[in-house]
Amino acid sequence: MAKIAKRIQKTREGVDPVRLYDISEAIALVKERATAKFDETVEVAMNLGVDPRHADQMVRGVVNLPNGTGRDVRVAVFARGAKADEAKAAGADIVGAEDLLEIVQGGKIDFDRCIATPDMMPLVGRLGKVLGPRGMMPNPKVGTVTMDVAGAVKASKGGAVEFRVEKAGIVHAGVGKASFDAKALEENIKAFADAVIKAKPTGAKGNYVKRVAISSTMGPGVKIDLATLTVA
């Protein structure tokens, strides 16, 4: 335990917890401190001035990261007939209808993202208590309830990241790997921030984006100067 604490302490050295860093400097600090034996995920957390308990302050959406996530995303698709064939051809890992429903109800959720055609939603709706808490329930607002299952599968595999504000007003997501070059990470972070800013709800008043920080899986959070987050 002492060894772990010492390693964590070392990763925090040189990072001012109060200072707001230029985005390129923040990325360099995060990459330098990603010293785990695996390729750490780089995560961004945005603290928003919203109260998601109010429907008009909910922030939700999806963004296609220009450089992908670096993660192998397993996709399940609820579809029948020709649409099921399209999903398989597009690279979906699991495709089914009632058979897939039974697998999920049985507790086996061997996928990271779930897509469904509109006609399958009465069936998928029965999985609300299972998929809902995991943030995996298909939703037309984020493109996971669609007739274009091939496009949705390819987007999910290629770097589509879904986001949703949590109770404390925080939106966070993995936006790449520590092994990515700095430019790729910067482009992904800016794309994510831009999508969250564009998803500003009508009920949000005052300062919408309060704070933004990035970190690696095992590294410290590094706060970013909001002025350097603008997408060129």
Q: Work out the average pLDDT over 126-145.
A: 92
Is the pLDDT at 2 greater than 90? The verdict is: no
Q: Which of 114, 130, 158 is the last residue of a domain?
A: 158
Where in the sequence is the domain holding 136, given as residue range(s)?
A: 75-158
Q: Which of 136, 158, 180 is the last residue of a domain?
A: 158
DSSP the chain: -HHHHHHHHHHHTT--SSPPBPHHHHHHHHHHT--SSS-PEEEEEEEES--TTSGGG--EEEEE-TT--SS---EEEE--HHHHHHHHHTT-SEEESHHHHHHHHTT----SEEEE-GGGHHHHGGGHHHHGGGT----GGGT-B-S-HHHHHHHHHHTEEEEE--TTSEEEEEEEETTS-HHHHHHHHHHHHHHHHHT--TT--S-SEEEEEEEETTSPPEEB-GGGG---
Query: pLDDT digit string (tens) for 52-88?
Result: 999 999 999 989 899 999 988 899 999 999 999 999 9
pLDDT at residue 37, rounded to an integer: 92
Q: Which of 158, 183, 214 is the last residue of a domain?
A: 158
Domain CATH for 29: 3.30.190.20
